[in-house]
Amino acid sequence: MVFSSVTFLFLFLPASLLLYYIIPDIRWKNVVLFFVSLVFYAWGEPVYVILMLYSILLNYAFGRVMGRTQKYKKQVLVFLIVMNLLILGFFKYYGFLMDTVNSLTGLSLPVRQLALPVGISFYTFQALSYDIDLYRGKFPPQKNFIAFGAYITMFPQLIAGPIVRYEDIERQLTARTHSLDGFGSGALRFTAGLGKKVLLANLCGSLFDTIQASGGNISTATAWIGTLAYAFQIYFDFSGYSDMAIGLGECMGFSFRENFEDPYACVSVTDFWRRWHISLGTWFREYVYIPLGGNRVSTTKHIRNILVVWLLTGLWHGASWNFVLWGLYYALLLILEKYVFLKWKIPSFIRRIFALAFVLLGWIIFYSQEFPQMLTTLAATFGFAANGFADNAALYYLTSNAVLFGFCLAFCIPATGIFLKDCRNHLPGRILLAAGGAAVLLLSVAFMVTENYNPFLYFRF
Amino acid sequence: MKNLYAKIFAVFFLIVIAGAAVLHFMTPDRAYSAAEKRNLDQAPELSPENVAAGVFMDRAEGYLQDQFPFRDQLMQTKITVQSTLLRNRESQGVYLADGMLVERFTMPPEEETAALLASLEAFAARNPGPSYSFMLVPNAVAFYRDRLPAYALTDSQDEYIDRFFFSLPEPFEAKDVRQLFKAVKNDVLLYYRTDHHWTTEAACIAFTGQTEDLAHVTVSGRGYSAYTVADRFYGSLQSKSGFTGLGPDAIRIYLPDRDAEPLFYSVYYPDTQSLESSVYDTDKLATDDPYQVFLSGNHPLVEIETSARTGKRILVIKDSYANAYVPFLVPGYDRVTVLDPRYYYEDIDALVKSGRFTEVLFLYNVNTLSADTSLKTVLDNRQ
Amino acid sequence: MKKILPLEVLFVLLLAGVMALLLWKKEPDDLPLTDLEQAVLSSCTLTGMEKAGDMRLKRAFGLNAADYDSYIYYAPDNTMSVNELLVVKLPDEARADEVLAAAEARIETQKKNFDGYGTDQTALLQDARVLQEGPYVIFAVGQDAGRWVDVIREKLGIRAFPFPLPWEDAATISDARGGALWSSAA
């Protein structure tokens, strides 16, 4: 089920909220949450819900085992890590692995096409964060199966994040406050995310698809417009989804961490990754980078650490070579920045332009499924395009989407976020927020009810 | 007090999601949407098999969207925002041009056109006897590029027609109406503003070659005059794109003058086995597609027999453009048989032989022909 | 360790079981299409349909009969009917896509043909069944389309789970497989 669908917003959500709020006791609220989240997941994946239930049982059971032994703690942790990664690896990467083996060895072993269970990357990483931090002694094991199940499955972040670490939420599982204005604040946040997704991301996505359909038959200007459209699409799609997740969580008394901080306002690539998909970056830093030594080791090992983390980050995004390439691309840039670029004295304005250029080129690698197509697009952006620098098509795309891009740009700059936050402090601002929220909600509903196009780009994770 | 705005929004949000949900289930489901001119999805069956197979869930979204309360008004809101605020004047391949809706043209692959021409040639070779002709009518996009939004993208229909007629096989006579239309494109309404069809005047120009004084024409020695039979016609392009605001179109038909020599004819529709006395089905004028007044809309075959005594019999193989053209043929032929390959399943060679036709006319508009697959299949007629 | 290791083993086996359940898919039996046709005709009545040959297959789906191992096609027998049953046996499972695509295209074409005046037909088209079982592609439209598909799948020996689900008739299953695999005391 997708948040920006009529089924979710007008069937599932009212029913779930009703059930959730009718029951007063928090332990029973968790039962409701767990149950509706299973329905939410099963709606889209009727069979794979079994796999998720297994994962919950596995991590719950051995989490408790870990709590009762000191001697075998490490062995249990290793077992958990292996099992979790086995599940993730098999269902997500089996096809990729077999295809690679086949093309490298020239064999043609039969490859069964497996459907990717939705959300597996997210809930597996959440489970692993629980396992590893439990080993580190940050909290006692969760003895209540329902509470633990609610942590893994809770529908706001189940399908597309943010990746919520157990330590951030432990106390909230058993004690959280519910209030009407808390709900309103959450609903407002949800609405903002919905608007980002339905009004901005989908329209940019539509433009991007149109340009993609032209294949290599584009001009340089078109290539840049297409990449810009994709950059907007993926940002508003993903951050919109995170907004909706945070908002829904807030509606039920949960407080999640922010996942995006105006990423396109970055001053360097390093800075970009502190602002984009923060929960993933945090996860890799906590559970891979730091255990490997982080930056407190020799230069060679440091570079190795960065390469490992980014190889995995790329792979996490998808079982395909262009994602691996994308990860390595950023690894290279980050290493260069750390050891070379950031030491130079460059005016901030130039820094920002370069950072954005690197990010945009990175998106080209990210969205190109085939290698030849990637090269054609990259060549076009550097001036070697089939249709010259600018053609009629580029002018059409630009003029018919200028206002859309204007809105997108407005919601990318930090000033907008600051202004909206500040609105909470005075009456005219508060009126603006409530009225604006109402308008965005109604407009989003209008678009949702009549739109067939609604893919979520991070959905295959 | 300072969080009152949040509380108000909370209440508003709940009213919207719960209210719409309640309204949705309380209002009866519609089967058909007049605005979109299509059947609306109905509730999927809630059975264990459907749920286990995921079929129920897949269909649920389509159903919930199609039966949403105030759907038409919400669609209007969306279209208005898109065209005015976002200044995006294209929807589903239709441009909101200056004063009219214009459908965009996409050039089909060359192989497809070549294959169709080959089938035409083979068909004519198998059925020698009648004289063959092909009238390929351009759409609005061929003449009104200047009215489209700035830099609007579309392929060239002129190029397609030129190539088509150049490669038209031997027995076929090419019937090109472009010069005629170009001469009067700013004086006569050639295409409906909200529909993809040509107007009756355009069909008249194509048939008679006359470009002036279209209120009265002479066909086969009889006088005809134009009468408006519908004035609230909102056509297919409006339904497809959602762009409203372009005034309703009027549909005119030509009826014989009172002092004209009388002509008797019968119109038989084999698929519904109904026999009519007019090519105009006035019952259709009250429906939401009044264009069906011409030959009662889409039928695989229409057989018209007349008292004309000209010794000529014609077979028209066509798309819906010809529906407005056929009435002009009726006075000049003893038999007019109209065939629509999209619905036709029988043996076309047998039909040609039994009908003893003296002429075979293909009448298509460019947009339909370039996307069509049924014509070639019917012509190939493989056993 | 005494208690932990067996628990770990248990969970590994459980995972193997879960994966088997998720991935389990029996290959359909290899039967001539006439057997499937017999099975359908003997347990269902096909209304609004007639047996059709190469020409109609090509017209309706754009498929060339010569490209496939064999096929059975029951087409609509009048212009107001959309009832259809097509079973194609592929020479090679990789060719499935073109038939599946042709079936989907057929649904769309028929929907367009009846758009605006055929509410019943459109409803039937929406519930059309298009599926692939190994080398067989099945396409069915009609009030009883689900039943025809079930009969064919049972004849081919396909089960979604290794045991009959509560709503499936255990007796019919044993008939189709030529002998009881489990008692019909369901």
Alpha helices (runs of H) in A340-426, residue ranges in sequence order = 348-367, 371-381, 392-410, 414-422
**A75 and C15 in contact by Cβ < 8 A?**
no
**C115 and B48 in contact by Cβ < 8 A?**
no
**B382 and C146 in contact by Cβ < 8 A?**
no
The A residues from 39 to 78 touching C (CB cutoff 8 Å) are 47-48, 50-51, 54, 58, 61-62, 65, 69, 71-72, 75-76
Q: Where are the domains of chain C?
A: 27-158
Any residues with CB less than 8 A from the CB of A137 and at least 6 apart, and which?
Answer: none
Q: Which of A179, A143, A202 is nearest to A5 (CA)?
A: A202
pLDDT at res. B169:
94
pLDDT at res. C171:
35
pLDDT at res. B2:
67
Backbone angles phi, psi at B244, to 5 degrees: -110, -175
Among all residues of chain B, which has the CA nearest to that of A444? B78
Please name the member of B2, B16, B88 whose beta carbon is closest to the beta carbon of A400: B88
Q: ω into residue B69 within 30 of 0, thus cis? A: no
Least trusted range by pLDDT, from A69-73, A181-185, B133-137, B167-171: A69-73
End position of a domain, from candidates A133, A157, A175: A175
DSSP B280: B
**A433 and B85 in contact by Cβ < 8 A?**
no
Beta carbon pairs, A and B, within 8 Å: 138
| Cα distances (Å, whole numbers) of residue A278 to A129, A172, A364 | 15, 21, 21
What does the pLDDT average to over B261-269?
A: 90
Q: Chain A closest CA to B40's CA: distance in Å?
A: 12
Domain membership of residue A357 (yes or no) is: yes
pLDDT band at B328 (very low <50, low <70, confident <90, very high): very high
Q: Chain C closest CA to A36's CA: distance in Å?
A: 22
DSSP A285: I
Give ∠ CA A437-A441-A446 in degrees, rounded to 5.
150
What does the pLDDT average to over C154-164?
A: 65
pLDDT at res. C159:
60
pLDDT band at B76 (very low <50, low <70, confident <90, very high): confident
State how many domains chain A has.
Answer: 2
Q: Chain A closest CA to C36's CA: distance in Å?
A: 27
Amino acid identity of residue A362, one-letter, is G
Other Cβ atoms less than 10 A from the Cβ of B2: the count is 11
Query: Counting beta carbons within 10 angstroms of the beta carbon of residue B380, is it exposed (0 to 12), middle (13 to 18) or buried (19 or more)?
Result: middle
Say yes or no to pLDDT of C163 above 60. no
Q: Which of A190, A226, A194 is nearest to A207 (CA)?
A: A226
pLDDT digits (tens, 9 = 90+) for C42-67: 888 888 898 887 778 877 887 777 67
**B13 and A184 in contact by Cβ < 8 A?**
yes
DSSP result, A182-233: HHHHHHHHHHHHHHIIIIIIHHHHHHHHHHHHTTT---HHHHHHHHHHHHHH
Determine contact, residues A116/C25, Cβ cutoff 8 Å. no
Q: Which residue has the higher pLDDT, B162 or B84?
A: B162
Q: Chain C closest CA to B116's CA: distance in Å?
A: 14
**Cβ contacts (< 8 Å) between C127 and chain B: which residues?**
45
- Would you call A21 an interface residue with chain B, using a CB distance cutoff of 8 Å? no
Average pLDDT, chain A: 91
Please name the member of A69, A79, A86 whose beta carbon is closest to the beta carbon of C8: A79
Q: Chain A closest CA to C97's CA: distance in Å?
A: 14
pLDDT at res. A252:
95
**Cβ contacts (< 8 Å) between B382 and chain C: which residues?**
54-55, 58
What does the pLDDT average to over A110-133?
A: 86
Q: Let me know whether A141 and A197 are in one domain.
A: no
Say yes or no to pLDDT of A325 above 90. yes
pLDDT digits (tens, 9 = 90+) for A39-87: 999 998 778 899 999 999 999 999 999 999 888 899 999 999 999 999 9
What does the pLDDT average to over B2-10?
A: 89
Amino acid identity of residue B293, one-letter, is V
**Cβ contacts (< 8 Å) between C166 and chain B: which residues?**
48
pLDDT at res. C30:
81
pLDDT at res. C119:
83
Q: Which residue has the higher pLDDT, B344 or C16?
A: C16
pLDDT digits (tens, 9 = 90+) for C76-100: 988 888 999 999 999 887 778 788 8
Chains touching chain B, criterion 3+ CB pairs below 8 Å? A, C
> Cα(A457)–Cα(A269) distance, rounded to whole angstroms?
22
Among all residues of chain A, which has the CA nearest to that of C11? A58
Domain membership of residue A141 (yes or no) is: yes
**Cβ contacts (< 8 Å) between A181 and chain B: which residues?**
3-4, 6-7, 10
Determine contact, residues C74/C50, Cβ cutoff 8 Å. yes
Say yes or no to pLDDT of C170 above 50. no
pLDDT digits (tens, 9 = 90+) for A443-457: 999 999 986 533 344
pLDDT at res. A456:
40
**A10 and B20 in contact by Cβ < 8 A?**
yes
Any residues with CB less than 8 A from the CB of B148 and at least 6 apart, and which?
Answer: B95, B97, B98, B102, B141, B154
Q: Let me know whether A214 and A122 are in one domain.
A: no
**B153 and A396 in contact by Cβ < 8 A?**
yes
The A residues from 367 to 396 touching B (CB cutoff 8 Å) are 392-393, 395-396
For residues A294, A297, A303, A309, the Cα torsion angle rounded to the nearest 10 degrees is -20
End position of a domain, from candidates A118, A143, A175: A175
Other Cβ atoms less than 10 A from the Cβ of B22: the count is 13
What does the pLDDT average to over A105-130?
A: 82
> Cα(A220)–Cα(A215) distance, rounded to whole angstroms?
13
pLDDT band at B341 (very low <50, low <70, confident <90, very high): confident
pLDDT at res. A236:
97
**C166 and B52 in contact by Cβ < 8 A?**
no
What does the pLDDT average to over A419-432?
A: 91
**Cβ contacts (< 8 Å) between C160 and chain B: which residues?**
52
Beta carbon pairs, B and C, within 8 Å: 49
Interface test with B, best of A1, A3, A6 (most B CBs within 10 A): A6
**B52 and C59 in contact by Cβ < 8 A?**
no
**B74 and A433 in contact by Cβ < 8 A?**
no
End position of a domain, from candidates A111, A144, A175: A175
Determine contact, residues B198/B321, Cβ cutoff 8 Å. yes
**Cβ contacts (< 8 Å) between A430 and chain B: which residues?**
2, 4-5
pLDDT at res. A109:
64
**B39 and C160 in contact by Cβ < 8 A?**
no
**Under an 8 Å CB criterion, which residues of B touch C?**
31-32, 37-39, 41-42, 45, 48-49, 52, 59, 271, 289, 298, 300, 342-343, 345, 373, 377-378, 380-383
> Cα(C131)–Cα(C158) distance, rounded to whole angstroms?
13
- Would you call A15 an interface residue with chain C, using a CB distance cutoff of 8 Å? no
**C79 and B300 in contact by Cβ < 8 A?**
yes
Q: Which residue has the higher pLDDT, B62 or B7?
A: B7
The structure tokens listed for B302 are: 């229409």
Determine contact, residues A76/A83, Cβ cutoff 8 Å. no
Q: Let me know whether A144 and A268 are in one domain.
A: no
Q: Give me the active site residues of A, please.
A: 317
What does the pLDDT average to over A88-99?
A: 86
Q: Let me know whether A128 and A261 are in one domain.
A: no
Domain membership of residue A1 (yes or no) is: no
Q: Let me know whether A343 and A294 are in one domain.
A: yes
Q: What is the CA radius of gyration of chain C?
A: 20
Give ∠ CA A60-C15-A168 in degrees, rounded to 5.
30
- Would you call A88 an interface residue with chain C, using a CB distance cutoff of 8 Å? no
> Cα(B131)–Cα(B123) distance, rounded to whole angstroms?
12
What does the pLDDT average to over B121-137?
A: 95
Q: Let me know whether A153 and A277 are in one domain.
A: no
Residue A235: which domain range?
A: 182-460
Say yes or no to pLDDT of A110 above 80. no
Give percent of chain B with pLDDT exceeding 70.
97
The A residues from 315 to 334 touching B (CB cutoff 8 Å) are none
What does the pLDDT average to over A197-203?
A: 94
- Would you call A111 an interface residue with chain C, using a CB distance cutoff of 8 Å? no
Least trusted range by pLDDT, from A95-109, B337-351, C1-15: A95-109
**Cβ contacts (< 8 Å) between B12 and chain A: which residues?**
434, 437-438, 441
- Would you call C66 an interface residue with chain A, using a CB distance cutoff of 8 Å? no
pLDDT at res. A458:
47
Q: Which of A451, A7, A41, A450 is nearest to B60 (CA)?
A: A7
Say yes or no to pLDDT of C172 above 60. no
pLDDT at res. A47:
80
Say yes or no to pLDDT of B58 above 80. no
pLDDT digits (tens, 9 = 90+) for A274-297: 999 999 999 999 999 999 998 888
> Cα(A289)–Cα(A81) distance, rounded to whole angstroms?
16
**C119 and B31 in contact by Cβ < 8 A?**
yes
What does the pLDDT average to over A253-277?
A: 95
Q: Chain C closest CA to B22's CA: distance in Å?
A: 25
pLDDT at res. B251:
94
Other Cβ atoms less than 10 A from the Cβ of A412: the count is 19
**C126 and B49 in contact by Cβ < 8 A?**
no
Three-state secondary structure along B308-346?
Answer: CCCCCEEEEEECHHHHHCHHHHHHHCCEEEEECCCCCCC
Average pLDDT, chain B: 89
pLDDT digits (tens, 9 = 90+) for B20-35: 999 998 988 888 777 7
What does the pLDDT average to over A341-355?
A: 86
